[in-house]
Amino acid sequence: MGLIKEIKSKEYRVGITPTGVAALIARGHQVHVEQGAGIGSGFSDQSYEQAGAKIVGTKQAWDQELVVKVKEPIEPEYRYLKQQIVFTYFHLAGVPWALTEALLAGKTSAVAYETLEDENGRLPLLAPMSAVAGNMSVQMGCHYLACCNGGKGVMLGSVLGKRHGNVLIIGDGVVGSHAARTAYGLGANVTVAGLFPENAARLQHEISSEIGFVISDPATIAEHVRSADLVVGAVLTHGARAAHVVTEAMVKTMQPGSVVVDVSIDQGGCIETAHLTTHEAPVFEKHGVVHYCVGNMPGAYPRTSTLALTDATLPYLLKLADKGLSALEQDARFAKALNTYQGYITCLPVAEAYAMQEHFRAFPAAFANA
């Protein structure tokens, strides 16, 4: 197995901790760690060697039957994509077609963290990073609302018992729940827009009865966007490109210096005026509104993110290491993680995002006799 050093801009996370490597070694697997892979998260090469891994160069780390990363391969890494299993976040429906094309050409088995489901239909490997991003969305909103950072000068916080700042969170899943908890904890007025009324009771029980909840429809979203100081886009459709729930016309109604944070940007974004940014240049202004749309938000807190991610991924990684793709054949929900295989797209929402249904084949049924 190979553990890759991330080369995406300002990405410091790593796919496995030394403790995770030790668990793999104990199962009889060899682990090749690319030199410097864990340094950004506070894990030295020596700590991986002490866990039993071998420190190697880039090519040797990639040249393994199973490769583990955090973020999707980027263009300089395409040449390494061969007939191996790559276990990482891909977000294929929201990134340029070139990556999917490279995976198909290399006949790579792309096993995506973000489409793996548990027995309840939830996304257990997306959840830890969604939680971090949800917390961060409000922190970044606070930062950019300051006048000195281009914002309107509204604090999200309680001052002598009075709440200040209006936060609208669109989406009531893991991102939305964590964003709501953080915003309310700071002292802001918080409204969550969701599709399921029963989630109102959950949020109000878990956080506060003062949390507002509205049903997410265009008219209601438009009304609340107009008065929001911070809008957090937290919409997710499993494996598919995000829908635009905040239109450009809605953004135009916001007061100058307001902030939007589109956490859905990995899947294409749920705010029409959003486009992908990086930690090096995280924001831009459109119609007087500050937009924060960083695609790898949790990379800003790599130590916490790596520990949380490994806790979630390690049980599945051990299955992949032990059984290869047979582990997916034996578990239909694990099989949903497979996005490409033998030169075909195996995740229908990805094929639909690019109108490439002719490249879709279901796994494992379509390959049973291959």
Helix 302-323 to helix 18-26 angle (10° resolution) is 10
SS (H, E, C) 154-177: CCCEEECCEEECEEEEECCCHHHH
Q: Which of 111, 135, 96 lies closest to 15, judged by CA?
A: 111
Residue 319 main-chain phi, psi, to 5 deg: -65, -45
Q: Which residue type sits at 86?
A: V
Burial state string for 247-281 with b = 16 or more CB within 10 A and e = fewer than 16: beebbebbeebbbbbbbbbbbbbbbebbebbebee
Report DSSP state, residue 257: T
Distances, alpha carbon 84 to alpha carbons 68, 255, 320, 326, in Å:
11, 50, 12, 14
* H runs (alpha helix) in 72-145: 97-105, 127-145
User: 298: closest CA among 310, 315, 289?
Assistant: 310
Contact 194, 218 (CB under 8 A): no
Using a 10 angstrom Cβ sphere, with 0-12 exposed, 13-18 middle and 19 or more buried, the burial of residue 166 is buried
Q: Which residues pair with 338 in a beta bridge?
A: 111
- Token duo for residue 98: 């070139």
- Residues 292, 175: Cα–Cα separation, whole Å: 15
Q: For residues 66 and 320, is the Cβ–Cβ distance under 8 A?
A: yes
Q: How many CB atoms lie within 10 A of CB 205?
A: 10
The catalytic residues are: 91, 266
